[in-house]
Amino acid sequence: MTLVEMGIPAVRAGLPSLDGRPDTPFLVDRFGRVARDLRVSITEKCSLRCTYCMPEEGLPQIPRAERLTVAEIVRLISLAVRELGVREVRFTGGDPLMRRDLEQIIAGCHERLPDTPLAMTTNGVGLEHRAKGLAEAGLNRVNVSLDTIDRAAFAMLTRRDRRDSVLAGIRAARLAGLAPIKVNAVLMRQTLSGATDLLGWCIAEDCRLRFIEEMPLDAGREWARASMVTAAELLDVLGTRFTLTAIERSDPTSPDETWLVDGGPATVGIIASVTRNFCADCDRTRLTAEGRLRSCLFSDEEFDLRDAMRGGASDDELATIWRASMWQKWAGHGINAADFVPPQRTMGAIGG
Ligand code: SAM
Ligand code: SF4
């Protein structure tokens, strides 16, 4: 199987132009944005098969030798924080819990960067048994993806009957002190009517729920702008049971809009990535499991750090590649344009 058949784009050869780039160590782009938030995908493997993300058979496996090692991940993250101005690091995938050496990755980063917040986005399957160890290794926060609390609907959407493991994982994370726990739910038509139950459950369990509009990053290529569930539809559904009051955004780079639920203190967030996109304030830079830099979820233009690193590149040389990659970042995703073409990689192969 070729890389293109695997949904992995060709890496761009040579260093892109740095023409016009200001003389700054930070990860700036041509549109005045500065990347401070690093998302690191550490595996393509996953214990679930969410229909809006993965193919039923899972993603083609990345050969072990092509995946970044613990030492390589720790080196690149340290470089991003110390030299490039990254302030927050989030591990994602696939599912980060699929890597048995996740605790070593976290511990390595925490040891070198004790003041940098380390977070993880996970589906929560198996978290019950690892939350305590991860917290001890230095993990600070966890976002757990849970689209519905209805067991049958969960099994249908994820193609796996693992809801109970996720709920146990959320509770274990709270006990381990990984609070505040955020719950992410992708807005899907099959689970929309259960949105009020999910919000009620999250409030009772002291979790902060955020709904996310589905983006065209599914392996089945079934996403359609005309039929996706919008933030506006969700607000109507939630309004049948709760009184929602919009809160003004305090952090412009935060993608979610927040509402107080029944006067507070509970809140609910909505990340309206499609209908109210926040590209103008995007502060993200991404590293894939094979060590490629990807500045935008929707751009297939990737730059390799792994081979450069394995070929003996110095930290300065790696930093130059990273800065150059960010200088090429697109203005926005263009989902709403008539000529929009989804990227080759699906969400599970990028890391959300
Ligand atoms: N497996 C982990 C999980 O599900 O949390 C981490 C990886 S997953 C790709 C990261 C986030 O992307 C999850 O919150 C997931 O719900 C979200 N996601 C996946 N596919 C999506 C899509 N097509 N549109 C919007 N969000 C999506
Ligand atoms: Fe796996 Fe997360 Fe994709 Fe679901 S969203 S299939 S849990 S990577």
Ligand 1 centroid from CA 351, angstroms: 7
Q: Is 202 annotated as a binding residue?
A: no
- Residue 65 neighbours by CB distance under 10 Å: 7
Mean pLDDT of the chain: 92
| Cβ(209) – ligand 1 distance below 6 Å | no
Question: If pLDDT is split at 50, 70 and 90, which confidence band does 226 have?
Answer: confident
CA distance 174 to 190: 29
Q: Is 284 annotated as a binding residue?
A: yes
CA distance 114 to 92: 20
Helix H or strand E encompassing 88: strand 88-92
pLDDT at 84 over 80: yes
Domain 29-334+341-350 is in which class? alpha beta
Dihedral angle over CA of 74, 64, 169, 179, nearest 10: 20
pLDDT of residue 91: 98
Ligand 2 centroid from CA 13, angstroms: 30
| Cβ(91) – ligand 1 distance below 6 Å | no
pLDDT at 190 over 80: yes
The conformation of residue 233, written as its DSSP 8-state character, comes to H
Take atom 2 of ligand 1 and give the residue whose Cα is closest: 122
CA distance 338 to 274: 14
pLDDT at 180 over 70: yes
Q: Where does ligand 2 bind, in terms of residues with CB under 6 Å?
A: 46, 48-50, 53-54, 93-95, 123, 145, 347-348
What pLDDT digit, counting tens, does each position of 89-144 carry? 999 999 999 999 999 999 999 999 999 999 999 999 999 999 999 999 999 999 99
Q: Is 52 annotated as a binding residue?
A: yes
Helix H or strand E encompassing 74: helix 70-84
pLDDT at 263 over 80: yes
> What DSSP assignment string belongs to 134-146?
HHHHT--EEEEE-
Question: If pLDDT is split at 50, 70 and 90, which confidence band does 2 have?
Answer: very low
Ligand at shortest distance from the CA of 144: 1
CA distance 206 to 299: 36
Q: How far is CA 29 from CA 22, 252, 281, 325, in A?
A: 10, 17, 12, 9
Q: Which atom of ligand 1 is nearest to the CA of 214?
A: 24
pLDDT at 235 over 80: yes
Nearest one of 186, 331, 173, 148 to 273, comparing CA atoms: 186
The domains of the chain are located at: 29-334+341-350
Q: Which two tokens stand for residue 11?
A: 């890496």
Nearest one of 185, 120, 129 to 153, comparing CA atoms: 185
pLDDT of residue 13: 66
Q: Which atom of ligand 2 is nearest to the CA of 186?
A: 5
Helix H or strand E encompassing 259: strand 257-261
CA distance 291 to 288: 5
